[in-house]
Structure 1
Amino acid sequence: MLLRFFSAFALLSIRSVNSEKFNEIKVLEGHTVFNVVESPLPHTYIEKDKLPEAFTWSDVDGQNFLTKNYNQHIPQYCGSCWAHGAISSLGDRIKIARKGRGPDINLAIQWVLNCGGVVAGCCHGGYHTGVFQLIKDSGYVPFDTCQPYLACSSESHEGICDQVDTTCKKENICRTCSTFSSMGGTCVEIDHFPHATVKEYGIIKSLNIHEIMSEIHTRGPVAATVNASPIENYKGGVFSEDGFSKGTNHIVSIVGWGKDPSTGKKHWIVRNSWGEYWGEMGFFRIEMGKNLLGIEGEIAWATPGTWTEANIPCYEDGSNCDGGDTDKWIQKEYVDPSMLMGTEQKSLRAASS
C-alpha cells in the first residue's frame, strides 16, 4: 500500500514538473479560404443598445440551446480543441435554428479528424475556420451516430490510436456494425447518411466587442482562440487577471455573456472541451473587453446551409442505404437572420426557419 501511494505521488510530481501545455492551434497549408460571406453581418444591423446586459444560449427564457459537452482528452489525449470549438458552435446554431425542437443534432468530430488532415487539422493541432472550409468543400459533416469520437488521428500514437484506422475511407465517414464477428458480423460503410452543411463562415479579428456580441446574440455561439495555460487550474468565478500572454494555444466556444451587478463589469461565458469535471461544469467566465488571454482576437463563426430533418429508413445492417431515395430525405434549409430585417431582431426567432 505504501509503495502504491509513493508511486502515485511520484507520478503526480513528475506530471506537475514536466507537463507543459501543447499548442493545439495550427493553420494547415490546405486551409486557404478563411471567409465565405454573403449575408450582411449582424453588427451592421444590430445596434449596440439593442443587445441585452446579459445573455446566454444555455438559458433563453428557461430553455437550453446548447448541444452536449465533450471531453477532447478521452479515451486518450488528443489536441482537437479546434474541432470541438468549431463543431459545437455549428451544432448549437442548428439547434437554435430548429427552435430546440426534436433530438439534438450532434456532429461527428471524429470525421473531422479522419478526413481533415490537409485542411482542418489532426490530434496535433488545427484551426477553427479550417473545419468550416472542410465541411464547405466536402459538402457535408455526418452526425456523430455515424462516427463516434475516438480521440485519434493518423498522426497520433497515443493510447488505442495505433489499433484503430482513422484514414478517410468510406467506412470512416459513416459506418455501422451488424453483429459480433464470431457470429459473422462485419462493419460496413453507410453510403447515404444524415448530415449537415456549411453555407457561410468567417473570422473576426477586429477586437470589436459589439461585432462579437451581435454575432453571438443574433446567430449563435462562436469559436474563439485563447491562451489556456493560466486556466488549467481554474477554480470558478470570473477570470480577470491581466498580464498573461495573449499568445493563444487552445480553441473554445463563447456561448454568451454576463454582468457583475456589484462592479458593472461584463464577462464572456465560455464552453471548454475538457469535460464537466473541469471548471464550472465544463465552462468558465472571463472578463470582457480586455482581450484577456487573447480570447477576443480570433473569433470564428459559421452558418449552416442545411441539415437532415428526416430520412428514408435503412435496414439495421445498412444494406439498403445506397441513396436510391435521396430525393425523399428532408433537408431543412437555414434562413439567415438578415433575411428577416425589418422585424424585431430577437435571436431565437430570427435564426429559425
Structure 2
Amino acid sequence: MKKAAIFVGIIAAGLISLVACTEINFEGDLDRSHIVSPLPYTYLEESSLPRSFNWGSIDGGGKSMLTRMLNQHIPQYCGSCWAHSSMSALADRIKIARNGIGTDINLSIQFLLNCGSFAGSCHGGSAIRAYEFIKNNSFIPFDTCLTYVACSSDSTNGFCEHVDTTCTAENTCRTCTSIDPKNGGQDFCSPIEYFPNATVAEFGNYNLDDGLFAIQAELFLRGPVKASVNAGPLLDYNGGILVDSTVNRNATHNHGVSIVGWGYDDFADIQYWIVRNSWGEYWGEMGFFRVELGKNLLGIEAHIQWATPGSFTVLNFPCFEDGSNCIREQLFEDPSNNPVTSIKRRLQQASRSSSYEISIE
C-alpha cells in the first residue's frame, strides 16, 4: 500500500495579496437562485453515497465525464476564475447529460467577460451571477464562437487596451476570413448571429448550514459543483492532500474552483475532495488538487454554487465560411433548395439568434 502524500499548508503573511483572482460574493448572492425541482439531498439516502466517487473516472474504470482542462493565465493573466470554474462545471454537466456521447461542448468564457459585466470581469466576479446571467439572457455560445483572450472592458493588462470587448454581435460569435473574392481578398471578420449555444435551467447555492451531505448529493447525482476557496496554500502546491490544521478554514475566499468528486486514502484514513483548478495541467496534479473533506479547509465547503443545463445545440444551422448567411440582415438563399419552413425549424431546434439587449436583474 502506497504512503499518502500529505501537504502541510501555511498561509504566510502577505501571501494572499499575490492571489489576484478575486472571488466576489456580492450582497445578496447567497439568496440568488432559481430552483423548481427537488434538490438531490431531499431524495437520496445518505447511506447510498460511495466512499469514493470521481466524475473524472466513472466507477474507477477511467471513463471521464469531464470536459477539457482550462487555463485562465494565458494568453495573459485575467482574474476570471469565477467564470472558468462555473463554466467548466456547467460544461461537465452537459457532457453528463449526454452520457459522454459526441464531442465535448465547451462554453465561451470570453462572452461572459464581454457581455456579462453583471457577473464580473478580469478583476473578479461571482459564479452565481454568471449562472443567473445565462439563465436570464437564454444563451451562452460555444467557445468555438469566441475564444478566450483574457481581457474585459476594465482591464488594462498587456494588450487589453487594444482589444475590443464591448458587447456586440461580433463579440458574441464571429468568423474571420480572407478568401472571399467579394471582399477583394481582404481579411475581415463578420458576426455570426445563428450559433450553437447552451442555456441554464436552474441554479442555486449551498453553504455550511446545509451540511456536507447536501454538497455530496448534488455532486453525485447532477455533476461537478463550483466552490469558493482561499488560494494561498495553492500557490506553491506540488501535490498530495491538503490536511494540516494550519490551512485556515475561515480565510477570505479569493478564488473559484470546481469540485469533481471525492476519494479515500487508506493509509492516512481520510476522505478528500478532488478539485479542478483553472491554472493549466502543468500546475498541481495535472491541474487538480486534493483537500481533506469535511473540515472546510480553504473554506471550500462554505460557498458552493451549481447550475443545471437547460437546452444545448446538437444540430447547428450551417453557416457559410464567411458567415454571410448567418447575419440577420442578409437574405438566406438555400443552396440545396430545402423548403424555408425546414430551415426555420432547424433554427428553432438548434441555434439561437442572439440578442444584444442584455438584461440585468
TM-score under structure 2 normalisation?
A: 0.83
Cross-structure match for 1:10: none
What is the rounded CA distance, in whole Å, between the counterparts of 1:32 and 1:249 in structure 2? 16
Shift of 1:138: 1.0
Match of 1:40 among 11, 16, 38: 38
SS at match of 1:176: strand
Whether the 8 Å contact between 1:315 and 1:321 is mirrored in structure 2 is yes
Change (3 A) 1:223 1:182: farther
SS at match of 2:324: coil
Q: Does 1:282 align with 2:300?
A: no
Shift of 1:261: 1.2
Change (3 A) 1:100 1:173: same
Cross-structure match for 1:116: 116
Cross-structure match for 1:156: 155
Change (3 A) 1:265 1:29: closer
Equivalent positions of 1:221-232 (< 5 A) are 221-232=224-235
Change (3 A) 1:262 1:30: closer
Amino acid at match of 1:189: P
Cross-structure match for 2:167: 168
Q: Does 1:102 align with 2:102?
A: yes
What is the rounded CA distance, in whole Å, between the counterparts of 1:75 and 1:311 in structure 2? 29
Whether the 8 Å contact between 2:72 and 2:278 is mirrored in structure 1 is yes
Amino acid at match of 1:145: T
Whether the 8 Å contact between 1:27 and 1:120 is mirrored in structure 2 is no
Whether the 8 Å contact between 1:268 and 1:285 is mirrored in structure 2 is yes
Shift of 1:300: 0.4
Cross-structure match for 1:234: 237
**Unpaired stretches in structure 1, ≥5 consecutive residues:** 1-15, 333-353
**1:149-189 CA distances to partner (integer Å, 9 max, x unpaired)?**
00110111111111110111110000110227983231011
Q: Does 1:262 align with 2:267?
A: yes
Change (3 A) 1:315 1:74: same
Q: What percentage of residue pairs aligned between the two structures are identical?
A: 51
Match of 1:311 among 308, 313, 316: 316
Shift of 1:75: 1.1
Whether the 8 Å contact between 1:269 and 1:284 is mirrored in structure 2 is yes
Whether the 8 Å contact between 1:306 and 1:331 is mirrored in structure 2 is no
SS at match of 2:187: coil
What is the rounded CA distance, in whole Å, between the counterparts of 1:290 and 1:32 in structure 2? 21
RMSD: 2.2
What is the rounded CA distance, in whole Å, between the counterparts of 1:30 and 1:146 in structure 2? 32
What is the rounded CA distance, in whole Å, between the counterparts of 1:32 and 1:210 in structure 2? 19
Change (3 A) 1:135 1:17: closer
Whether the 8 Å contact between 2:30 and 2:205 is mirrored in structure 1 is no
**1:74-94 CA distances to partner (integer Å, 9 max, x unpaired)?**
111100000001000000000
What is the rounded CA distance, in whole Å, between the counterparts of 2:272 and 2:198 in structure 1? 32
**1:20-72 CA distances to partner (integer Å, 9 max, x unpaired)?**
22251124579796110000000011111101110111111331111111110
Match of 2:211 among 190, 208, 230: 208
Amino acid at match of 2:67: T
What is the rounded CA distance, in whole Å, between the counterparts of 2:82 and 2:15 in structure 1? 26
Cross-structure match for 1:350: none
What is the rounded CA distance, in whole Å, between the counterparts of 1:57 and 1:198 in structure 2? 20
Match of 1:244 among 243, 247, 254: 247
**1:269-289 CA distances to partner (integer Å, 9 max, x unpaired)?**
000001111000000000000
Whether the 8 Å contact between 2:195 and 2:317 is mirrored in structure 1 is no
**Unpaired stretches in structure 2, ≥5 consecutive residues:** 1-13, 333-342, 352-361
What is the rounded CA distance, in whole Å, between the counterparts of 2:138 and 2:31 in structure 1? 15
Q: Does 1:67 align with 2:83?
A: no
Whether the 8 Å contact between 2:194 and 2:317 is mirrored in structure 1 is no
Moved more, 101-110 or 177-186: 177-186
Whether the 8 Å contact between 2:21 and 2:78 is mirrored in structure 1 is no
Amino acid at match of 1:170: A
Cross-structure match for 1:343: none
Match of 1:328 among 333, 346, 361: 346
Larger relative contact order (Cα-Cα within 8 Å, sequence gap ≥ 6): 2
Number of aligned positions between the proteins: 316
Moved more, 204-213 or 293-302: 204-213
Moved more, 256-265 or 34-43: 256-265
Equivalent positions of 1:122-161 (< 5 A) are 122-161=121-160
TM-score under structure 1 normalisation?
A: 0.85
Change (3 A) 1:331 1:97: farther
Whether the 8 Å contact between 1:27 and 1:130 is mirrored in structure 2 is no
Cross-structure match for 1:51: 49
Whether the 8 Å contact between 1:28 and 1:121 is mirrored in structure 2 is no
